[in-house]
Amino acid sequence: MATETAQVVIVGGGLEGAAAAWALSRRGVTDVVVLERGTVGSGMTGKSSGIVRCHYGVSSLAAMAAVGLEIFEQAEEAFGPEIGADIGFRQTGYVVGVGEPNVDQLRRSLAAQRAVGVETEEIDADEVAKLWPWADLEPFAAFGWERRGGYGDAYQTAQAFAAAARAAGVRIRQGTAVAGLLVEGERAVGVRLADGGEVHADTVVVATGVWTRPFLAPYGIDVPIRVHREEIVMVSPGTDLGPVPVFSDLVSLQYVRPEVGGDMLFGNSDLAELSIADPDDYSNHPTDGIVETAVEKVGTRFPKLTEASIAQGYAGCYDVTPDWNPIISRGPLDGLVIAAGFSGHGFKISPAVGRLVADLVVDGASSDPRIPERDFRFARFAEGDLLTTPYPYVGAGEMR
């Protein structure tokens, strides 16, 4: 069987593996092989809602989202004029609304976001009413507004990362399943392919999303990722919504965004209870429960959309860690980097994830002081030192 060598081998050609390959190539590291058992973006990346916002209470995540936003805005420069011509980013703006108990937290969070360079401000209900004239804004007490937010296309973005990396010399092998790591002593030295081949490398990056826990378990590495099935409902608004922004409603715990083609994408942000699933065997069809929830929540928040109806729906899976934040970390084996556990919010930060992985591979540390690698270390779970927001929202704890 064939044996190949590379400086870096990346397992998983989803958004995060492709972003890592792109970022490594931007740092001049092009002796890189990406191994993807399906095709680039064929995992959970294809299911993403693609929402782009920097509204995070955790400062390092807000900074990562700001980095992501800059790359999406300057895609032609980041990926080259042809590849970056349209990666699907739509800059509609992003509005987040909270009720009375969360006003103080919202204001403190906005100030912390501004401190790491996020362009965000508070706006009043009159301004939001102009943006979303169909909404009942009565229950809200304060709103945050990001003019530069919006939504993107995670699948297209993954293709752009991969194409730009390939153009720089990175080898991307699709249809190539990895059977496991090659380990010598305490060091990962490469991977074994399902066809019996081997790729030897100085560094192995594992970016296998919801499949990460079983992939690393044979080496005594227990990555505390649970797989949660998340449903999305498409609503036909029955009218032309025009250029509405993404709306994150932290009173009734939902988010909506316009969809190319005129529909409205609904997501339930009440994640208090996980719906544990098998990522290789889960239903893609929305349950009656989520359809009822969508009807109730959309109906309550947007009472003036009197002709709205359910168009369709689908499901994907989140790779959820105990603190709902990713692992982007060297170790626990030498030569190993884990980039997984994105917990349903890995799209907007993907360019920064790629950069941090590249920094960890090349320098062993983050090059951006706003994004300390310590925040995302694997060891935080064992240490009981979770990455949580200093500004938690009452009743919306999962809004990180």
Interface with ligand FAD (CB under 6 A)? 11-17, 35-38, 42-45, 47-51, 154, 177-178, 207-211, 215, 230, 232, 316-318, 340, 342, 344-348
Burial status of residue 251 (CB atoms within 10 A of its CB: 0-12, 13-18, 19 or more): buried
In whole angstroms, give the CA distance from residue 73 to residue 155: 17
Tell me which residue has its CB nearest to ligand FAD. 14
Output 284 or 309, the one with its CB closest to ligand FAD: 284
Token pair recorded at residue 188:
């990962």
| Paired sense of beta strands 264-268 and 226-236, if any | antiparallel
| Paired sense of beta strands 32-35 and 94-98, if any | unpaired
Least distance between ligand FAD and beta carbon 252 (Å): 18
Least distance between ligand FAD and beta carbon 126 (Å): 27
Least distance between ligand FAD and beta carbon 197 (Å): 12
Least distance between ligand FAD and beta carbon 57 (Å): 15
Type of residue found at 365:
A
Output 231 or 306, the one with its CB closest to ligand FAD: 231
Q: How many CA atoms lie within 13 A of 73 on its CB side?
A: 15
CA distance to 101, 130, 142, 258, per residue, from 127 (Å) = 21, 5, 11, 18
Output 273 or 307, the one with its CB closest to ligand FAD: 273
Beta bridge partners of 312: 234
Sheet of 94-98: strands edge to edge?
Answer: 121-123, 142-146, 94-98, 246-249, 254-258, 264-268, 226-236, 309-320
Output 21 or 78, the one with its CB closest to ligand FAD: 21
Output 240 or 287, the one with its CB closest to ligand FAD: 287
Backbone φ and ψ of 104, nearest 5°: -60, -45
Output 266 or 342, the one with its CB closest to ligand FAD: 342
